[in-house]
A and B are shown apart, each in its own frame.
Chain A
């Protein structure tokens, strides 16, 4: 019994393990339902191309949710950053144009985040309101500046920046998947091992505690939104370069997907607990569900229904494997073993040992 408990405790201590398990099971199911597609590399390669932008948004949103806030504006940042980049590439005649566009796009993301942060932290607008407005405003700004038109940047293929951010490593692994993984590792350390991440977590747990313990709550919140703006801009850059085209509505499908990835990853909607690894695998689950369902030749009408079921199941799983439920479960198992032992060996069989602890 104690062994089972310590095994469970060990498994629980590995961050994101349940969600990684769900992803593995999901791919196993798809291997059975769509063997021709899921037994070959190309489908995975296409996930490595399509998931990273949304995954990166999910990493940023994990911080925001951990701090007890919400950001609805990041899809608009994905579009606006893409516009800034594409505009620079098209209109500046220099080999450095895309790099300038890259830096300006990150800066624009940071600036949008800064405005969000000021509204939330200094003026006191609830973050869901401030960023909802921001989402409309910055999509509007993007459409206005782009004249509602998309921009073809196919000429960027083969340039160094494209090879770095939308190329393929060893001709097999899309580089954006590698960037997403590196960013996930880096942000894991920021959230779990850095002063900034600890401040974010304590603020989400209880902002009053954070304040009386010497954390500058307002400044940290502003920095949080700046960081999320820059992360979303980076996602927008990867997306634009991967598609080789900017379109003013890009990113619009990300909002709900990203939130789903974060929440099935185990990050607490109440704040105070963020799971980067969970968001990482959560994004791959959300990002490959649709393709998997379609490849399984279930009618397309089923896609959303299956998505909803998987999400609900994972969220329930997250709650069930929480410590308290496990304690309850193991005490029930103990109860069964005790009663069965009593019925076999009689009441004299070291009952004290069973009930201690």
Chain B
């Protein structure tokens, strides 16, 4: 099914809803991401950000609603992580992106190994490509890190570099970063931010989730505010010309909420 007005979007959600048992994690989610747009997704703990990400990437099935990727409607009965990868959606999580005890080259290809028809892995080819990604995309050079290194020998920033490099290598149309900078040093946060700038420059789309408003503000074109499962704000950089304006907006919103409750 083709959804013509949405064809200009990398992704569009219509009335997405998600219940965990009786708990409503997402409700009335209507949102789109432009083909070369960086969205900053903001919200408190438990607002539903990660749940939304998992629906987009095929880990969870929504209770109801529609999802269009590049204008094509997704069939949730068959939609899974592999389909999401095929449609060019890649995800970088804070801590769930890499197998800690496994070699880097395995981490690059997990879930989509290069195999022969019996399912045996072409180790040499995978290592070659992994090495290429490390040198060209990520820029690990002469740091004592090879494709055979175990992930748990890497710093937090290097790990995120690997996860992002992997996403870029597989030619993602949309990269989702769910709190990619938690527990990173300032220098390493900057690296991640540079990667996001690279996504924009490369003409791709991105959803960036972080509790650090400064970082979100720097990389994003538009901000979507999520609160208790609902979208309560949708602002462009014109609406909030400085990071202070965004901060004030969020403060005002939460105060308003408090007044209502009181």
Contacts and interface: CB of A to CB of B under 8 A. Distances in A.
B102 A272 contact: yes
A215 B110 contact: yes
Contacts, number: 70
Interface string B114-138: 0100011101000000000000000
Given A194-B120, A210-B110, A214-B112, A201 B59 contact: no
B8 interface: no
Interface in A38-84: none
Chain B at the A interface: SS class: loop
10 contacts: A195-B119, A195-B120, A206-B99, A209-B96, A209-B98, A210-B110, A211-B59, A212-B97, A214-B111, A216-B80
A201 B102 contact: yes
A196 interface: yes
Contacts of A194: 115, 119-121
A214 B99 contact: no
Contact of B100 (A189, A196, A206, A212): A206
Interface of B: 54, 57, 59, 80-82, 85, 91, 93, 96-102, 106, 110-113, 115, 119-121, 123
A4 B100 CA distance: 27
A273 B113 contact: no
A14 interface: no
A258 B100 CA distance: 27
Most A CB contacts (10 A, CB to CB) among B93, B111, B119 go to B111
Most B CB contacts (10 A, CB to CB) among A196, A201, A202, A212 go to A212
A272 B120 contact: no
Contact of B82 (A195, A206, A214): A214
A272 B100 contact: yes
Given A195-B119, A209-B110, A210-B110, 13 more contacts: A195-B115, A198-B113, A201-B99, A202-B110, A205-B100, A206-B100, A209-B98, A211-B59, A212-B57, A213-B110, A215-B111, A272-B99, A273-B101
B111 A213 contact: yes
Contacts of A2: none
B106 A198 contact: yes
Interface of A: 189, 193-196, 198, 201-202, 205-206, 208-216, 268, 272-273
B146 to A, nearest CB: 12
A273 B150 CA distance: 12
A195 to B, nearest CB: 4
Chain A at the B interface: SS class: helix
Contacts of B101: 205, 268, 272-273
A194 B91 CA distance: 24
Contact of B113 (A195, A205, A206, A208): A195
B121 A198 contact: yes
Contacts of B91: 212
B229 to A, nearest CB: 21
Return the 10 tightest CB-CB contacts between A and B, nearest first.
A214-B111, A214-B81, A213-B111, A205-B99, A272-B101, A195-B119, A202-B99, A213-B110, A214-B82, A208-B96
Contacts of A196: 119
Nearest to B83: A214
Given A195-B113, A214-B112, A209 B97 contact: yes
A202 B57 CA distance: 19
Contacts of B80: 214, 216
A206 B100 CA distance: 8
A213 B81 contact: yes
Nearest to B110: A213
Contact of A202 (B59, B81, B102): B102
Contacts of B96: 206, 208-209, 212
A215 B82 CA distance: 8
Nearest to B109: A198
Contacts of B85: 214
Contacts of B57: 212
Contacts of B123: 193
Nearest to B91: A212
